[in-house]
Amino acid sequence: MRATSLSATARPHVKPSGPGVTIGSRHARNAVFTVTAVSPPVVQPPRVRADACPGVLAPHDAADGALARIRLPGGVLTRAAARAVADCARHHGDGAAHLTSRGNLQLRGLRRDDPDALSMLVAAGLVPSSTHERVRNVLASPLSGIAGGLADVRGVAARLDAALCASPTLAGLSGRFLFAIDDGRGDVAAQAPDLCWRARTATSGTLLVAGTPIGAVPLTGVVDVLVAAAEAFAGMSGAAWRTAEVLDAPGRIAASVFGNEQHSGATEWHDGAVRTVPEVGQVLRDDGRAALVVAPVLGELAADDLRLLARLSPEVLVTPWRTLVLPRGGAAERRALAAAGFAVDAGSPVAKVSACAGSPGCAKSLADVRSHARTLTVTAGSRTHVVGCERRCGAPHGPHRAVVARAGGSYETTDVVGGDGRHSQGSSGRTA
C-alpha cells in the first residue's frame, strides 16, 4: 500500500481530490479525508527477546538493587500517594524517587523479596491491577483545564486506566506501549505515543496511530475508541511491542475500529500546530489564578521533597519532561520549593539537564554520569541528556544535546535533531 498524508473536512458527500480516498466511521460519520502521497513507512525489525520493562510487581535487577517503576496515568500523584512513595524510598530504597521520560516514578535500591515495600504502594492505590500493571502507560497534557489547550481532558486518563485494566486482552501489551491524550497543544502527541487522541476543538479530536491520523473521535468517545484500537493492535502485533513495528498498523487499526471499506496507509498529519510544553515558572491559569511548574535537579525527588510537595498541594502532575505541575501554586509555594532546591524560574539550567542512572547503579554504564551532569545544571544553555552508554536510556524526544560516555573517561557530544532520542539524526559529534 502506498504511504499517504491526509487532512479532514466535515462536509458530507464531498468527493476527495487527487489520489484521495474517503474514510467513514461510526464515530465520524461523513468525514472526508483528502490523501496525498508521502514517503513510505519505516517498519522496525521484529523483536527477538521478551519485553523486560519493569513494574512494581516485576522489578528490574539493577547493579544497585531492584528497580521498580510506578505508573502514574495522566501523571497524577495524589497527596497520599506522594507520602507512600516517600516512605517507601526512605525505608526500602535509595532515599529518592526518580522522574522518568514518560511521566512515571522509579524507585531504586530496593530488595526484590521485600513485601513491605510492595504493600505500601498497593495500599496507596498505585498498583490497582496485578495483571495490567505494566500496560498503564498513559500521558495527558499536564496543563489541560488549567491553562490553554483546546479541550479539557482532566479525568480522561483515569477513565482510560480503568478501562485498560478491565480488558483481559490488553494484559498482554508490552510495558513500552504508550497512550496519550492531548488537549490540542501537541505536547504529549510529540512523545511518540502508539495511540493518541488529539483535540481539534473543545469536544472533538483525531485518533492517531504511531503519529498517523485515522479518524475523528468525539471527546466523549475517547476511552472506548482507544481501548478498541489497543485491542485491535493486540490481535495483529505478534512479537511487536509498538505500533510502529507493525506494517500498516494505522490502516489496519482504522479498518478494525472504524469499519472502513477503504483506508489510508501510514500518514502524516500536517496541522501546523506549535508543540508547547510547560515551562518552569509561574503559570497564569485560565481562571486568573496561578499554577506553578518546577523541576527537581536531574529529576530526583528525595523523600523530604515528596513530603513537601504533599504538604503544599493535594496533587501534583508529573510530566514527561521531568518537571512537576502544582495546579495551584502561588508565591508561598514557589518560595518553599526554591528553598528546597527546586528550579522555579523560567530558563533555569536545571530544567534543561537530564541523565540516565549511570554507574554505580547501572552495570552497563561507563561513567558516573549523574555526578558529571550536575555540573551542567549550572551552565547548560540548551536541552542536554547525559548517558553512560549507547543505549541512551531516558533520552528526551525532540532536539537535544546527547553527551555519551566513552571508555577511558571521555564523552562524545552529538546534537540530536530528531528521532526517538536514542539515535541521532543529522548529528555532529565531538569528544569532550
Q: Give the DSSP letter string of 321-387.
A: TS-EEESS--HHHHHHHHHTT-B-STT-GGGGEEE---TTT-TT-SS-HHHHHHHHTTT--S-EEEE
Q: Taking 70 as the threshold, does the pLDDT of residue 22 lie above it?
A: no
pLDDT digits (tens, 9 = 90+) for 362-401: 888 888 888 888 888 878 888 889 998 998 988 888 889 9
Domains, the chain, in order of start with CATH, read 4-40+144-258 (3.30.413), 351-431 (3.30.413.10)
Mean pLDDT of the chain: 84
Which 3 state secondary structure label does DSSP give 18? coil
* φ/ψ of residue 293, rounded to 5: -115, 125
Q: Taking 80 as the threshold, does the pLDDT of residue 259 lie above it?
A: yes
pLDDT average, residue stretch 167-194: 96
**Cα gap 110→176, rounded to integer Å:** 22
Q: Which of 116-125, 271-280, 350-359 has the highest mean pLDDT?
A: 116-125
Q: Taking 60 as the threshold, does the pLDDT of residue 350 lie above it?
A: yes
Q: Taking 80 as the threshold, does the pLDDT of residue 260 lie above it?
A: no
Q: Concatenate the DSSP letters of all residues of 95-109 into one string.
A: SEEEE-TTS-EEEEE
Beta bridge partners of 359: none
pLDDT average, residue stretch 319-348: 96
Which 3 state secondary structure label does DSSP give 31? coil
